[in-house]
Amino acid sequence: MPLAFLALIVIGTGLMMLPAARAEPGHAPFVTALFTAASAVCVTGLAVVDTPTYWSTFGHVLLTVLSQIGGFGIVTMATLISLLVSRKLGLRSRLLAQTESAGLFGGNLRGILFRVAMVMLACESAIAVVLTFRFWLRYDYSLGRATWEAVFHAVQAFNNAGFALYPDSLVRFVTDPWICLPLALGVMAGSIGFPVLFELAREWRTPGRWSTHTFLTVSGSLLFSLFGFLIFLTFEWRNPGTLGPLGTGGKVLAAFTQDVMTRSGGFNSVDLGRMNSETIAVTNGLMFIGGGSASTAGGIKLTTFMLLAFVIWAEIRGEPDVVIRKRRIAEETQRQAVTVALMGVALVACGTVALDALTEDIPFDRALFEVTSAFATVGLSTGVTPTLPPSAQVVLVILMYVGRVGTIAVGTAIALNTRRRHYRYPEERPLVG
């Protein structure tokens, strides 16, 4: 599965280097094409060039296709095509699809695959219809242009990619709810995860029957959404560079939109480079946590963070087991959560140090923001990404790749000697804390 994403990035780089993909004569430099292709495949949205002016219409179509495939999943897409063409699917393909989608396809693979495709298509279509009419009727776009830009941004929103056809992303629409809300809702739908969406469709009236995964994802999503919204309003309310010039309604809409985009959306409706340092720090944390598992979002995932919180609470209370809603959490799951979180922290720390060493004029907090955004495949930027040297851009490419494929998947691919032992060593208890 890591090789599949790597192969698509290589193919995407070659396509983005075609002269037809660039608006001006000639082809894009290798690092520029690599960064853009990796950002699209990994549904990040970071850019080292001005997306609307640097790339041609063909280049924008390539971004749309790469983002769609990257969000849906390369192996998942190949599996769906195999089902459509041959009506058959081998055991190996089933196992690969399960690996890529965090175990989502454990039952009726054919039925679930088509449901995932239909949900994605329905959400993107609904967003595109609303945006089309808004662009056409309110901003006097031609119907063709309105439709194209609506489809482009709808795909970017649901797949949490974050590329925009405007130099300022969504800043010009900061007070327009008919633009910001559909895109924000699309990001929320894409970031919560297909298992949760399917279960909520069946059991939305009976929360007591939700699975532990759905409970952790929904409760975590609501908790961090409210927390981020209040933090953004509190620290940016009087900031003349962000919410200060807006009316009360505009401030609330901008705070909600920007809070949602920290899940992994990548759009920004205010100038992130002018945010207060406190807001940047909180945004780093929200980006690192990310969205739901088996979704188009990045980060270490909500379930991971919430599970670790319950692990800490159980340890503080001296409980022998980690119990959530009368269900005991397996030790393997706890170890996996710890591994994902600590590998994420290590990658962000190493990436920040590397970026700081490779650049001279970028403050440390800005470097940390860019690295976290890349690892969590968010795509938010304070504006320093285009100024980075090629070596620093390659560091971000690596972080985007690992963040999209997953730390566990990359680690497992590297550790070729993964196996089960038929014996256990004597127990030892070193001092902790």
Of the candidates 399, 397, 206, which has an alpha carbon nearest to the alpha carbon of residue 299? 399
Mean pLDDT of the chain: 87
Give me the mean pLDDT over the 47-56 stretch: 94
pLDDT above 80: residue 390: yes
The per-residue pLDDT for 311 is 93
Q: Could you tell me what percent of the chain has a pLDDT over 70? A: 88
* Cα 150 to Cα 8, 134, 182, 189, 237, distances in angstroms: 25, 9, 11, 17, 30
Q: How many CB atoms lie within 10 A of CB 68?
A: 19
The per-residue pLDDT for 77 is 56
Relative orientation angle of helices 143-158 and 57-72, to the nearest 10 degrees: 30
Cα angle for residues 155, 157, 162 (degrees, 5° grid) = 100
pLDDT digits (tens, 9 = 90+) for 329-344: 988 888 888 988 999 9
Give me the mean pLDDT over the 39-66 stretch: 94
Confidence of residue 389 (pLDDT cuts 50, 70, 90): very high
Confidence of residue 170 (pLDDT cuts 50, 70, 90): very high
The per-residue pLDDT for 86 is 47
Indicate the range of 55-69, 85-99, 118-132 predicted with least confidence: 85-99
Q: How many CB atoms lie within 10 A of CB 200?
A: 16
pLDDT digits (tens, 9 = 90+) for 139-153: 999 999 999 999 999
The per-residue pLDDT for 98 is 53
Cα–Cα distance measured from residue 415 to residue 124, given in angstroms and rounded to the nearest whole number: 38
The per-residue pLDDT for 418 is 55
The per-residue pLDDT for 56 is 95
Give me the mean pLDDT over the 230-245 stretch: 94
The per-residue pLDDT for 58 is 96
The per-residue pLDDT for 316 is 92
Of the candidates 185, 191, 219, which has an alpha carbon nearest to the alpha carbon of residue 294? 191
pLDDT digits (tens, 9 = 90+) for 292-318: 887 788 899 998 999 999 999 999 998
- Element containing residue 323 per DSSP (H, E): strand 323-324
Confidence of residue 350 (pLDDT cuts 50, 70, 90): very high
Give me the mean pLDDT over the 36-46 stretch: 93
Give me the mean pLDDT over the 180-190 stretch: 94
Task: Let me know if 233 is exposed, middle or buried by CB neighbors in 10 A (0-12, 13-18, 19+).
Answer: middle
Asked if residues 333 and 307 have their Cβ atoms less than 8 Å apart, the reply is yes
* Residue of 410 and 377 predicted with greater confidence: 377
The per-residue pLDDT for 88 is 55
pLDDT above 80: residue 95: no
Confidence of residue 28 (pLDDT cuts 50, 70, 90): very high
Cα–Cα distance measured from residue 376 to residue 391, given in angstroms and rounded to the nearest whole number: 20
